Amino acid sequence: MAKSLLIVESPTKARTLNRYLGKDFIVKASVGHVKDLPKTKLGIDVENRFKPEYQVIRGKKKVLKELSDAAAKADAIYLGPDPDREGEAIAWHIAEELKANGKPVHRVLFYELTHKAIKEALQRPGQLNRNLYDAQQARRILDRLVGYLISPLLWEKVRRGLSAGRVQSVALRLVCEREREIQRFEPQEYWSITARLAKRPAEEAGGGDQDFLAKLWRCGKKKAEISNEEEASAIVQAVQGRIFRVQKVEKKRRQRKAPPPFITSTLQQEAARKLRFPAKKTMRVAQRLYEGVELGDEGAVGLITYMRTDSTRLADEAVQAVRRHIQETYGKEYLPGRPAVYKTKSAAQDAHEAIRPTDVFRTPESVKDYLGRDELALYTLIWKRFVACQMAPARIFQTSVDIGALPQGRNGEGGSSAASGMDYIFRAAGSVIEFPGFMVLYTESTDEGDKGEEDEEAQSRLPDLREGEVVDLKKLIPKQHFTQPPPRYTEASLIRELEEKGIGRPSTYATIVSTIVDREYVKQNRRQLTPTELGFIINDLLVQHFPDIVDVEFTARMERSLDEVEQGASPYIRVLEEFYSRFQETLTEAQRDMLNLRVAGLPTGLSCPQCGKPLHIRFSRNGPFLACTGYPDCTFSSNYERDEKGAIRLVEQETTTELCEKCGSPMVVKQGRFGEFLACSAYPKCRNTKPIGMGIACPREGCDGELVERFSKRGRKFYGCNRYPDCDLVLWNRPVAITCAQCGSPAMVERVSKKGDRTYTCARPGCGYKFSDT
């Protein structure tokens, strides 16, 4: 008896489905895309309505043959790649290549991999969605046109190997503009004055004073703005010895509602803040949780719903289940009268749900023995956020107290225009959580830049104060502050910014930051994103010559146009034609007008210290450097750095005692893209370079070389011998100068666990001796 064939894109997903479907289905995996545009040419016939020239991806002919053979034996074909644009393209290309021979071809959408959801999807299959496929095609063609036509121009004008992307270039612009905003920022001094006050103990109650803090809020009728120490000192002097009387007490209750369930962007942001996960890692781990995890006797189970979504919608069945869990676990008071419903933005794909656990009763505790550390951490985050979003709001009791510092002999009536007679109002604020609600389980994190300056005088509770009550002054605390520049983007805050501006979609957020980092346009330091010199230059060239490509609003309009294609409201050919008509004209002008940095370099406004001619930024395989425009008459070159304001300053060359083995000139220390290296001082006549030795002898027996740091083509650090290629020793962990107790090797390899435990292994091939230092 013939079986039905179900094709999905992932082997893991196929295994999970196979467990549920049993003998009636053959489940196969395409292992991702099977067709794409060619790598060696544009692959788009611009003159023929932008017809794409798709090719079977290398290595996929065998996969397609297996799928075709299985299709020939099946009575029906079901295509079940992911329910989004990329998944639709995979399904469409598989359908084009299969020999269906008139057999029915169905499209099935799996939003979660549970027995009930799989059964329902197969009972109600649909057809291939042309609009969804066209939206993916349009995006792919747009990205190819931008990348394939601008990148060669950057190769020609700047340096080989550079590239530009449609969405990534906008992200780079945001990072560069933020950095320049920081460079332009001029800190402004200001002061605060905090009073440490004490409520007087009641005579009948006994006990000590109840201290609290209040900040100067108003000077007379104006808001307190103190510019310098002199003004602060004058106020402190004027306030000393005054009566501090409570003038106003305001108490109110407010509710703090739970955040909505996760969508793709908010999951990436919160995982970055709470778990320190890069967006790509978050999506990689979420994919495993969605496709299925082995849970002992249960077999493979999909633990979360589909993770590429911009909808906050929740299935009624899931809501009822979580409400039952909340009542059983936390009690009736934590269950609101009706389910919480969260607003979804207008462009969201509401056929999708929010990201949630497929079974709320499958708690993190119950599955922890089957999950890796990263999987458990992410699942716990998703599970808690989902449960919290249906819990009762927290109730917070807030108190605000205004306290007047009044001259002796006055009861707070009227005021004085003289500085010494001016009324000063201090404000104390406190809050108490009366009922934690959802906060008993989950609180949302914030980006560092959203927190503002730390308030050291923050307090949670105030003593019971009444209007007219006199309190005692214990101490006045003046403090100097400076205004802060806007914070640098983190991956989380950049994704949030892109989402708010309508740039990118759930399937693209994860690759945006990793792409500009991999291209060395941006570097990450303590999670902050900073443009590199190359990133600034590429951004400036694109802004000058391709203003539309890096324009935030233009890119957001293109995203909305792609959404219209998906909804069937606009033909994708029209979107491509409107884009290309402007882009082609801009490209022609850029080819003619863009400054050729490979020939002329980039002007800096600095003069050569040897001959006085202008210094320009030039590029080598080791990165940017300064060179004199008087070359070859003047051969001056230098590394450089930028100060906090972005101004260029020369870095003095460090001359070593080592001589160049090719020409005999002294070797100097230079800075390259992967750190310091040695270069011949006779450059450009002699271009000899070599890595700097680590001072550790090569551990290979019979070799008299020295270990050096090196970098692979992908930028990964490793350690090798400076006698290469005569000695091809490679170490991927850091060597240390410890003598092996077993073989006498001068080096051992150090490994440090995440707990800080250190293990040392002999670096000599074939020894294997190791010890731990815990």
Q: What residues have CB less than 8 Å from 238, skipping those under 6 apart?
A: 419, 420, 422, 424
Give the Cα separation of 321 and 326 in Å (integer). 9
User: Is 631 in the active site?
Assistant: no
Catalytic residue, candidates 290, 306, 334, 509: 306
Residue 18, Cβ neighbours under 10 Å: how many? 18
DSSP summary character for residue 357:
B
Rg (CA), the chain: 33
CB 679, CB 689: distance < 8 Å: yes
CA angle 380, 86, 546 (to 5 degrees): 105
In DSSP terms, 679 is beta-bridged to: 668, 689
Helix (H, G, I), strand (E, B) or coil at 649: strand
Residues 6+ apart with CB under 8 A from 572: 134, 135, 137, 138, 565
Beta-carbon contacts of residue 660 (< 8 Å; ≥ 6 apart)? 666, 667, 680, 681, 682, 686, 688
Contacts with 253 (C-beta within 8 Å, 6 or more apart), sequence order: 395, 396, 397, 398, 434
CB of 339 closer than 8 Å to CB of 319:
yes
| Residue 64 CB partners (closer than 8 Å, separation 6+) | 34, 56, 94, 97, 98
- Give the DSSP per-residue string, 513-541: HHHHHHTTSEEEETTEEEE-HHHHHHHHH
Q: What angle do the packed helices 509-518 and 264-275 form, to 10 degrees?
A: 60
Neighbours of 641 (CB within 10 A): 11
Let me know: does 215 contact 190? Beta carbons within 8 Å.
Answer: no
Listing DSSP states for 64-107 in one string gives HHHHHHHHHH-S-EEE---SSHHHHHHHHHHHHHS--TT--EEE
Strands 648-650 and 654-659: unpaired
Q: Report whether 677 contacts 714 (CB < 8 A).
A: no
Verify cis geometry, omega within 30 degrees of 0, for the bond prior to 632. Answer: yes
User: Do the beta carbons of residue 41 and residue 97 sit within 8 Å?
Assistant: no
DSSP H or E segment with residue 367: helix 364-367
Q: How far is CA 420 from CA 222, 290, 423, in A?
A: 16, 69, 9
Point out the residues that are catalytic: 306
